[in-house]
Structure 1
Amino acid sequence: MAGLRERQKADRERRILGAAVTKFRAEGYRSVRIEDLAEMAEVSVGTVYNYYQTKGDILIATVAMEVEEVLASGAEIVRAPPPGAEEALLSLIFSYYDHSLEYLSKEMWRTAMALAIEAPGTPNGRRYAELDARLSAQVTDLIRALQARGEVRADVDPVAMGQLIFNNLNQMFIEFVKEDDMTLETLRSEVAAQTAPLARLIAPEAQA
């Protein structure tokens, strides 16, 4: 029975988040009420509040759902990176970007970022920061994997380099979601141009 209850609980949560993705994208985060989400998810309003205290909690949960899938995809790249630092780094970065609008619109991302920045000490703020930290750590893991294959210089600090690369890809993503007219192709092109010289600097032949 406990297993059945857990499955039912997980199913209700998936329906709530599915409703949030659909409603927030179609109507805008600020226009949607908790009652609208409950109706679409076919649960009571009270059930929604059993899972999430605020609409902001639901939005950050959709971010977490997005990032968890991104991390899973990135883990495959870290386990078997493409050859060469530049290609491997761009493969990971582009896997982040290409999945970024799967569940969230640009407006949803802007709102989630604002929630995290306005109240960094709240559970939502801490959860958002923790997701960023896990993405940054994955970039670091990729640097380590490339070092182990001899494709990144041994004297490169993988943590500092991972943080540097993540900070840049994250800032560029912020610029992307700020501009409704900016395309994913433009984002990829600009980040590729920024990453290429950095990849050359950390490549073993740069030691000479």
Structure 2
Amino acid sequence: MKTKLEQRQTSIKGLLDAALHQFVSRGYRSTNLEQIAGAADLTKGAVYFYFGSKEAVLIALLKRVQTAVFDEAIKAVERAGPTLTDKLVAFLHNAAKLGITHRDEVLLLILMSLEFKDRKGKVRNCIGDIYQRTHALIQRLIRAGQKSGEFRIDVPTRELAAIVMANHDGTFLEWYRRSDTLNGRDLVRALRSVVVSGLGRPENAARAQPRRRAAGGASKRRRAGVRKST
């Protein structure tokens, strides 16, 4: 038999899980406490008892998102190395893993960032804090990579980080929309390829280009020599 504490924890988890599904499928504004309570097989009074308001439910969910999304990203980046490219790839791979293990949590963050963009208050501040910390992490990696010579310096760090995050969120939404037709592993490989090559120094790509052309020219000369000899 469960203790009162265990019953409380079970009820809170049930309400948060139900709210997560409702907010993602309906949106925050179109979801009411009765729907959350009904989905959790509890009463509306239970929601008020544990949280007090719909806003408090969302904030509790966003705190759970911060643990799943940002805290895990920090751990993944810290474990990776030795290069800054390795650390950035670790961030992207962690995001891909979240698409399987915490899909709705990541989707909630993205959707609520849009729904609360022009609304002031605790929810917007909470969302902004998660994104701000994530942007700061990416900017720190890119800035270090620029100093080490790994990443391009012809575009400001802030804008490069913004594009990385745009690819991060956009790829997740594309996977959510078309997961039945897309290959997840190939999608992650494409994301990694686009981001890493896009951050690379242009002069490195330019130096690689003549080598490919030279190799092609040598091949043509060899073929021409074969034709002459025959």
TM-score (norm 2): 0.60
Instruction: Using CA pairs under 8 Å that are at least 6 residues apart, name the structure with larger relative contact order, 1 or 2.
Output: 1
Taking the TM superposition and a 5 Å limit, the aligned residue runs for 1:1-208 are 12=8, 15-21=11-17, 29-30=25-26, 33-36=35-38, 39=41, 45-50=44-49, 51=51, 53-54=53-54, 58-59=57-58, 61-105=60-104, 109=107, 113-120=110-117, 121-123=119-121, 124-147=123-146, 150-152=148-150, 155=153, 157-181=156-180, 182-201=182-201
**Contact 2:135-2:162 within 8 A present in 1 as well:** yes
Say if 2:110 and 2:169, in contact at 8 Å, map to a contact too.
Answer: no
1:133: how far off? 2.3
Distance change >3 Å, CA 191–CA 33, structure 1 → 2:
same
Q: Which runs of 5+ in 1 are unaligned?
A: 1-7
CA distance in 2, matches of 1:12, 1:78: 35
Contact (CA 8 Å) 1:139, 1:162: kept in 2 or not?
yes
CA shift, 1:91, in A, is 1.1
Is the Cα–Cα contact under 8 Å of residues 17 and 61 in structure 1 kept in the other structure?
A: no
Report the residue type matching 1:177 in the other structure: Y
Q: Secondary structure at the match of 1:33?
A: helix
- How far apart are 1:93 and its partner, in Å? 1.3
Shift of 1:129: 3.4
The secondary structure found in structure 2 opposite 1:35 is: helix
* Rg comparison, structure with higher value: 2
Is the 2:85–2:150 contact (alpha carbons within 8 Å) kept by the matching residues of 1?
no
Q: When the two structures are superposed, what TM-score results if normalisation uses the length of structure 1? A: 0.65
Give the whole-Å Cα distance in 2 for the aligned partners of 1:18 and 1:103. Answer: 16
Q: Which residue of 1 aligns with 2:225?
A: none
Q: CA RMSD in A?
A: 4.1
Distance 2:77 2:59 in 1: 26
Runs of 5+ unmatched residues, structure 2: 208-230
Q: How many residues align?
A: 191
Amino acid corresponding to residue 102 of structure 1 in structure 2 = T
Secondary structure of residue in 1 paired with 2:82: coil
Q: Deviations over 1:58-104 (max 9, x none)?
A: 35643441332332222234435423344332211111221244344
By how many angstroms is 1:194 displaced?
0.9
* Partner SS for 2:70: helix
Identical pairs, percent = 16
